[in-house]
Amino acid sequence: MELILPEALVLLALDNRQGQLLIPDYSLSYGLCGALLLELIVQDCIEIEVKSQLVKPKNNAPSDELLIDTLRMIKAENKLHELKFWVENIPNRMKDLRNIIIKRLVSKQLLQEAEGKILFIKFHTYPTQNPEVELALKTQIIQAVLHNQNEVDYSTILLTRLTHACNLFPEIFNRHELKIAVQELHKLQSAHGVDEAVHAAVEAMDASLACIAATCAITAATS
């Protein structure tokens, strides 16, 4: 089953049985922004000026409704903005992004909607309905990083980079594999010549995640 990067990332970020996030909400939010931008780059719908980091929309139409909405938002601005601007502002402008993607995964019968309860508080959970797709994604990442670096499709490289940025590697690799995987990831990117625009998008996402994580740590220490 064909998934765009944001869908694959959400599927990997949810616990199979509990249906709840394995990573902080802010981490997934920025990861999804990075995933949207990466998809637009790969589909040749935006270009990134390497020096200025400005995002320039192109005339090509994306293949997915969610990507069309994202590109429309970028084009609606009366001036060009840097990658960092979009990584940090897409969550504010597409506040329901995670739930939109979850609903899509439910409609594709990859997740199922359930209801959890703590005391008198009810909440929705989304456990896996079809574990084969998620298992296939994890297997592709493991194979790409640890085994067959010469036979990897570009979307798997991008998904691997996204999962690492969102700190999902511990959910994919076992403890023994984890240290090796981080080292091998750099070799994988070098071997396949990851595009400068793609690298810039991931770096912008990394910087935003680091900033938020530092803010949370300071807040926790002073509270």
What local confidence, expressed as pLDDT, does residue 208 receive? 65
Each residue of 134-181: pLDDT tens digit? 999 999 999 999 987 677 888 898 899 899 989 999 999 999 999 899
**Three-state DSSP class for 67?**
helix
Each residue of 29-38: pLDDT tens digit? 989 998 999 9
Whether the CB-CB separation of 9 and 156 falls below 8 Å is answered with no
| Partners of 124 in beta bridges | 115
| Partners of 123 in beta bridges | 116
What local confidence, expressed as pLDDT, does residue 217 receive? 46
Does the structure show a pLDDT above 70 at 212? Answer: no
Report the Cα–Cα distance between both ends of the chain, in Å, rounded.
46
Top CATH class, 5-222: mainly alpha
C-alpha distances in Å from residue 31, one per residue of 19, 123, 197:
18, 23, 16
C-alpha distances in Å from residue 138, one per residue of 8, 101, 113, 118, 122:
10, 19, 22, 31, 31
What local confidence, expressed as pLDDT, does residue 70 receive? 95
DSSP 134-159: HHHHHHHHHIIIII-TTS--HHHHHH
**Three-state DSSP class for 112?**
coil
- The domain spans of the chain are 5-222
What local confidence, expressed as pLDDT, does residue 154 receive? 84
What local confidence, expressed as pLDDT, does residue 58 receive? 93
Each residue of 27-62: pLDDT tens digit? 899 899 989 999 999 899 999 887 888 999 999 999
What local confidence, expressed as pLDDT, does residue 209 receive? 63
What local confidence, expressed as pLDDT, does residue 150 receive? 72
What local confidence, expressed as pLDDT, does residue 215 receive? 53
Whether the CB-CB separation of 58 and 49 falls below 8 Å is answered with no
- Rounded mean pLDDT, 84-113: 92
| Partners of 21 in beta bridges | 14
What local confidence, expressed as pLDDT, does residue 219 receive? 44
- Rounded mean pLDDT, 213-220: 49
